[in-house]
Structure 1
Amino acid sequence: MNELIHDCQKNHKFQQREHRKFLALMLFIQVTRFKCRGFIFGLATNHCMCDGLGAIGFVSSWGETAPGLPLCVTPSLDRSILKARDHTKIEFPHHEFTKIENVSDTTNLYQDKVRDKSCLDPEKLVQLKQMALKDKALGKCTTFQALSAFVWRARCKALKLRPEQQNRLLFTVDGWPRLNPPLSKFFFGNGIVLMNSLCIASELLDMPFSFTVVLVQKAVSMVTYSYIRSAVEYFEAKIYPPSLSSTLLITTWSKLSLLLFFSPSYLL
Structure 2
Amino acid sequence: MASPNALTFNVTRQNPALIPPAQPTPYEFKPLSDIDDQEGLRFQFPVIQFYRRNPAMDGKDPVKVIHVAVARALVFYYPFAGRLREMADRKLVVECTGEGVLFIEADADVRLQQLGDSLHPPFPWLEELLYHVPGSDGVVNCPLLLIQVTRLKCGGFIFAVRLNHTMSDVFGLYRFLSTVGELARGAEIPSVLPVWQRHLLNARDPPHVSYTHHMYENTRALIPLDIMVQRSIFFGPAEISALRHRLSPHLHHCTTFELLTACIWRCRTIAISPGPDEEVRIMCIINGRGLFNPPLPTGYYGNASAIPVAISTAGNLCKQPLDFALELVMKTKSEVTEEYIKSVADLMVIRGRPHFAVVQTYIVSDVTHLGLEDIDYGWGKAVYSGPAKGGVGVIPGLTSFYIPFKNKKGERGIIVPICLPANAMEVFVKEFQMMVKREDEDIASGVARKSSISIGRTRL
Place the TM-score, normalised by the shorter chain, in its bin. Answer: 0.7 to 0.9
Counterparts of 1:131-210 in structure 2, within 5 Å, are 131-133=246-248, 136=250, 138=251, 140-210=253-323
Report the equivalent of 1:85.
204
Post-superposition CA distance 1:188-244 (Å, at most 9, x none): 211111111011101111222211111001111101111111111112222112122
* Partner Cα separation in structure 1 for residue 321 and residue 11 of structure 2: 55
Counterparts of 1:206-221 in structure 2, within 5 Å, are 206-221=319-334
Shift of 1:37: 5.4
> Which segment drifts farther, 58-67 or 162-171?
58-67
Question: Which of residues 140, 148, 156 in structure 2 aligns to 1:30?
Answer: 148
Question: Which of residues 227, 236, 241 in structure 1 aligns to 2:355?
Answer: 241
Counterparts of 1:11-30 in structure 2, within 5 Å, are 21-24=136-139, 25-30=143-148
8 Å contact kept, 1:129–1:142: no
8 Å contact kept, 2:283–2:307: yes
Shift of 1:172: 0.4
Report the equivalent of 1:94.
213
Report the equivalent of 1:70.
188
Q: Which of the two has greater helix per residue?
A: 1
Secondary structure of 2:298's counterpart equals coil
8 Å contact kept, 1:27–1:44: yes
8 Å contact kept, 1:132–1:210: yes
**Structure 2 letter corresponding to 1:256:** L
Provide TM-score, normalisation by structure 2: 0.51
8 Å contact kept, 1:129–1:143: no
Secondary structure of 1:250's counterpart equals strand
% identical aligned pairs: 29
Post-superposition CA distance 1:39-71 (Å, at most 9, x none): 322112111111122111111111222355212
> Which segment drifts farther, 28-37 or 139-148?
28-37
Shift of 1:175: 0.4
Secondary structure of 1:118's counterpart equals strand
Report the equivalent of 1:115.
230
Secondary structure of 2:232's counterpart equals coil
Change in CA separation of 1:100 and 1:63 when aligned onto 2, cut-off 3 Å:
closer
**Structure 1 letter corresponding to 2:215:** E
Aligned residues: 253
Report the equivalent of 1:58.
176
Change in CA separation of 1:5 and 1:119 when aligned onto 2, cut-off 3 Å:
farther
* Partner Cα separation in structure 2 for residue 20 and residue 215 of structure 1: 42
Provide TM-score, normalisation by structure 1: 0.85
Over aligned residues, Cα RMSD in angstroms? 2.5
Q: Which of the two has greater strand per residue?
A: 2
Change in CA separation of 1:69 and 1:107 when aligned onto 2, cut-off 3 Å:
closer
Shift of 1:267: 1.5
Change in CA separation of 1:70 and 1:130 when aligned onto 2, cut-off 3 Å:
same
**Structure 1 letter corresponding to 2:247:** A
Shift of 1:167: 0.5
Report the equivalent of 1:10.
none
* Partner Cα separation in structure 1 for residue 12 and residue 248 of structure 2: 51
Counterparts of 1:38-53 in structure 2, within 5 Å, are 38-53=156-171
Shift of 1:147: 0.9
8 Å contact kept, 1:132–1:146: no
Report the equivalent of 2:10.
2
Secondary structure of 2:230's counterpart equals coil
Secondary structure of 2:308's counterpart equals strand
**Structure 1 letter corresponding to 2:358:** L
Change in CA separation of 1:115 and 1:228 when aligned onto 2, cut-off 3 Å:
closer
* Partner Cα separation in structure 1 for residue 229 and residue 186 of structure 2: 47
Specify every segment of 5 or more residues in structure 1 that has no aligned partner in the other structure, as ranges.
8-16
Shift of 1:101: 6.5
Report the equivalent of 1:12.
none
Specify every segment of 5 or more residues in structure 2 that has no aligned partner in the other structure, as ranges.
1-8, 16-131, 375-381, 385-404, 407-411, 417-460
Report the equivalent of 1:11.
none
Shift of 1:113: 3.1
Shift of 1:35: 5.7
* Partner Cα separation in structure 1 for residue 229 and residue 289 of structure 2: 37
* Partner Cα separation in structure 2 for residue 250 and residue 19 of structure 1: 30
* Partner Cα separation in structure 2 for residue 216 and residue 36 of structure 1: 45
Write out the 4+ residue segments of structure 1 that deviate beyond 4 Å after TM superposition: 17-20, 34-38
Shift of 1:30: 1.3
